Amino acid sequence: MSIVLITALFALILAFILGLALGFFQKIFAVAEDPLKGQVRACLPGANCGACGFPGCDGYAAAVAAGTAEINKCSVGGKAAAAKLAALMGGDATVIPAVAVLACQGSKEHAPPKGDYWGIPTCRGAKLSAGGSKLCSWGCLGFGDCTQVCQFGAISIGAGGLPHIDHDRCTGCKACIAECPQQLLREIPKDRQGAMAVCSNRNPIKQMVKKTCKAGCMKCEACVRNCPEKCITMDRGIPVVDYAKCNSCGTCVAKCPTKGIKLIQQDIISGGTSIKQAVS
C-alpha cells in the first residue's frame, strides 16, 4: 500500500475519532439555554443593528430574559416589538422613535473643496489622509460612508453631495451616527418640536466661516438675541436650544442670515427628507 493511501486512511480514522470525541464532550458540557430567551428572540426583527446597546438581537434577548434590559430598546422593531415583549414579559411598551438628522448644509454649492482629491473615496479615508476634502474642516465630506452602513436604505447622497435621510425608512439604529468621522449626524426623537442648528462649523472667525461655507453659522448670535423665550445659547460657536422652553415660534429661523437654524418638525423631519435646502 502506498504512503499516500496510508496517510489518507490514517487521517480518516483520526477524523472519525475526533468527531466522536467532540460529540461526546458536547453532550457532557452542554449548557441548557433559557427557553425564555428564545421566546424573547422571536419577538425581535433580527436586524442585529446594535441600536439597543447589545451585541445583536441574541444579546438583547438574553438581557431581556434575564431582566437586566428594558423591553422598549429595539428601535427597529418599534412599537410592534415592544408590544410583543410587554405581553410576554410585562413592563412599559412605550417607544419614542428616533431618527438621524444631518447637522450640515455644506453642499457643493455652499462649501468649496480644498482641491482635487485622489485618495480613497471614503469619508474616513479623506479625513485620515488629508484632514478632509473641503475648506470647511467641520463639514460633510459627501463620500457616503453613512449610506454603506445603513441596513434599511434610508440614506442616499443627493446631487449636492450631502446625505438625504428618508425618515419614513430610518429606524434610529445609530449605525450612520457611529460611522460618520465628522460626527455630523444626530439622533433626534421623531416627535421633537422646536428649532435646531443645521451647521457644525465651530470656527470662531466669521470671515473664515463665510469663506469655507456660504451656508455656515456666522456666530452673529441673532438667534440668541431675538429668541422671545431666551432658550438659545451658544456652545463652542453653535446655537443650542433648550427644548423645555422652545415653543417653535420660528423667530430664530426668520432672523438667521444663513438659515443655519430650522424648525425640526417643519423643515428637517417633516416629509421624510433631512434638511431639504441641501438638495442644491
Which of 63, 44, 43 is CA-nearest to residue 53?
63
C-alpha triplet 257, 255, 249: angle, nearest 5°: 140
Angle separating helix axes 56-66 and 35-42, nearest 10 degrees: 120
The three grid cell numbers given for residue 170, joined into one nine-digit string:
430610518
Share of the chain above pLDDT 70, in %: 94
Report the pLDDT averaged over residues 146-153. 95
User: Cell numbers 460657536 correspond to what residue?
Assistant: 237
Residue 155 is inside which H or E element, if any? strand 155-157
Instruction: State which amino acid sits at residue 84.
Output: K
Please compute the mean of the pLDDT values over residues 92-100 and round it to a whole number: 87
Structural domains present in the chain: 35-89 (1.10.15.40), 98-279 (3.30.70.20)
Single-letter code of the amino acid located at 256: C
Q: Note the pTM of the prediction, 2 decimals.
A: 0.78
Q: How far apart are the first and last CA of the chain?
A: 78
pLDDT tens per residue across span 34-58: 788 889 999 999 888 888 888 889 9
CB 150 within 8 A of CB 171: no
Q: What integer is the mean pLDDT of 210-230?
A: 95
